[in-house]
């Protein structure tokens, strides 16, 4: 199909999947359990970082993690005592374990003692997504005794990673529409700046349609795909994540 037909096809897929019925089977259902911004941010961050593997397992494990925090992630991170931290011991999802979890909680306590929102953890490092993510990685691991093993769970463009999970988290926080899926609670970053989350499924579909020229699934590929998507909608290229992801994962395209 030509580009006009492709845009129409993908726009229709966005409409089909960017709706509340999409939420329950996707990790974005986790931050939707909360109403306060800081709770949404922390819950969403955990859901995004743990988002690899089976989606049902991802949702269940993230719920388990938050239940260990008494479903009050912001209050827990900010005001926990040693006995509270013991509730987190033994948590594990894939290669993410309680050592990683305890450091994440320490970082959130450090950040939210000084800021009301997690948005500043990104925006203080630049005006485009690449320096924001690179700076966030450095900031996240700036606490004393940050575990070396935990670094693999927070990706960075500096090392060439496509940063799929972080870009997905940013999409959740930044995209603004009236569809009820993404939150749009961050105002400093514009939806036009977002990089489309790139994983193997999105990459496969994108290459099929000629939207991705690069062979590696890396940061340059994520930028390359987003550039193509901006030709369809320069103000909101990341909305096509709904279409490409659903075609790859839901419809097995």
Residue 140's domain comprises 3-250
- State the pLDDT confidence band at 252, using cuts at 50, 70 and 90: confident
Domain count, the chain: 1
Q: Which residues contact 65 (CB under 8 A, 6 or more apart)?
A: 46, 50, 88, 91, 93, 101
pLDDT value of residue 253: 83
Residue 57 clears pLDDT 90, i.e. is over it:
yes
DSSP 8-state assignment for residue 117: -
Q: What are phi and psi of 214, to 5 degrees?
A: -85, 140
Alpha-carbon span 182 to 23, nearest angstrom: 9
- Mean residue pLDDT of the chain comes to 97
Residue range 157-189, pLDDT digits in tens: 999 999 999 999 999 999 999 999 999 999 999
Query: Chain-centre distance of CA 2, in angstroms?
Result: 31
């Amino acid at each position: 199909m030509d580009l006009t037909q492709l845009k129409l096809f993908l726009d229709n897929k966005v409409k089909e999947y960017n709706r509340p019925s999409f939420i329950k089977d996707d990790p974005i259902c986790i931050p939707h359990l909360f109403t306060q911004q800081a709770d949404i941010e922390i819950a969403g961050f955990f859901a995004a970082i743990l988002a690899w593997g089976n989606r049902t397992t991802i949702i269940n494990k993230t719920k388990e993690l938050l239940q260990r925090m008494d479903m009050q992630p912001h209050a827990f991170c900010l005001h926990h005592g040693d006995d509270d931290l013991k509730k987190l011991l033994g948590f594990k999802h894939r290669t993410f374990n309680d050592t990683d979890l305890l450091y994440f909680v320490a970082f959130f306590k450090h950040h939210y003692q000084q800021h009301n929102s997690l948005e500043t953890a990104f925006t203080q490092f630049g005006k485009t997504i690449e320096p924001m993510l690179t700076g966030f990685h450095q900031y996240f691991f700036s606490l004393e005794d940050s575990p070396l093993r935990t670094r693999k769970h927070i990706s960075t463009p500096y090392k060439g990673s496509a940063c799929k999970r972080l870009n997905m988290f940013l999409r959740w926080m930044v995209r603004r529409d009236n569809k009820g899926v993404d939150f749009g609670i961050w105002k400093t970053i514009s939806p036009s700046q977002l990089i489309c989350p790139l994983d193997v499924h999105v990459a496969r579909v994108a290459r099929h349609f000629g939207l991705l020229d690069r062979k590696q699934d890396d940061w340059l590929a994520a930028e390359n795909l987003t550039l193509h998507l901006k030709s369809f909608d320069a103000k909101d290229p990341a909305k096509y994540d709904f279409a490409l992801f659903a075609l790859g994962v839901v419809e097995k395209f």
